[in-house]
Copies of this chain bind each other. A is one copy, B any other.
Amino acid sequence: MASIERIEHVARRVIRAKNEGHDVVVVVSAMGKETDRLVELAEEVDYQGLDARREMDVLLSTGEQVTISLLSMMLMKHGFKSESVLGRQANILTDKEHTRARILDIDASFLKNRLSDGVIPVVAGFQGTDDSGNITTLGRGGSDTTAVALAAVLAADECQIYTDVEGVFTTDPRVVEGARCLDEITFEEMLELASLGSRVLHTRAVEFASKYQVPLRVLSSFEDTPGTLITREDDAMEQPIISGIAFTRDEAKLTILGVKDVPGVASAILGPISEANIEVDMIVQNVAADMSTDFTFTVRREDYDQAMNILQNIAKNIDAREVSGDNKIAKLSMVGVGMRSHAGVASRMFEVLARESINIQMISTSEIKISVVIAEKYLELAARALHSEFDLAEVAG
């Protein structure tokens, strides 16, 4: 939500769905810069080191409260019965983990009752209440999670998530000209894409939708296009080998060379890193030769310097030969449930990269994903070549 114009726009969408005969429950987030403004106010209080999470929830939840009232007014102005509904009023019960609460239970009877009265309920996303009546917030991806959770308990036909993009693309359209908006994608694929840097939907909302089998549609708040339906593999009409190519530049690589290949060495290396709250993504250990091994892992680029300092100390302690690193790398991943039934996707991917003379620095695979680390400067070239090789610009099926 950016402004009153955006609220007007959302109201039109809601009215159209209502006029098509659907019962509609709307879930909204805070308006554009409202959350930033509230966080700045809290920072002015300068509560360093203080556990003020309960109060942050009271503060931040006002953002959604403003939006629900304005959108309800807008719907009323257009002649519809509408009521704003706070998280508490929608009976969204959470645990007591302020700023990152988990939904424990939702009693849908209130919303069902309002729907049966012909009202369009406009629910505040991102917020709930604990069993003592304190306001809680759900943390990142909270409003999407609220929408999915309500769709689940209301057994909705579809949960539509309006975003600033048209849907889920085969790859980043800013990088690959032929990038195409997918009609459908499976939950599994979406989870891999979301965790790999496609910022369309927060992983948590997708996980929730997957768990409760809520058909989820991602579509644009601005454009009048059908978007992408995220659904179960069984229900997916098309099953191309590859659904999308995701990538992230936000990576750095660290290597420790000449480590004694004995039990416990991996935890001796990664323990201090994770104790410093640095998240490790890919981990590769080379096959041991002459009783020594090399060990490589990736971290977020912003954590590179700190991780390197820690690793240099570790190297001394475990008597390793050398430490090296590179923060000019990128990770590129191909995702698709079709990989399961199509052998040779990996080798075809490696061939394409070799043809373009792109060196693969690390490889990691899962059942429906292949990720490679390459030099950052080759990222666009690799993405375009793979997008073309796997015919992602074509409409499949």
Contacts and interface: CB of A to CB of B under 8 A. Distances in A.
A41 B67 CA distance: 10
A68 interface: yes
B59 A70 contact: yes
A66 B73 contact: no
Interface residues of A, number: 36
Interface stretch (A45-53, A145-153, A178-186, A192-200): A45-53
A73 to B, nearest CB: 5
Contact of A54 (B38, B58, B83): B83
A104 to B, nearest CB: 19
Contacts of A61: 65
Complex copy number for this chain: 2
A59 B55 contact: no
Contacts of A62: 62, 65-66
Interface in A77-132: 77, 83-84, 86, 88-89
B65 A59 contact: yes
A134 B133 CA distance: 14
A44 interface: yes
A31 to B, nearest CB: 9
A65 B70 contact: no
Contacts of A38: 66
Contact of A7 (B45, B83, B133): B45
Given A41-B66, A66-B41, A88-B133, A76 B59 contact: no
A89 B130 CA distance: 12
A35 interface: no
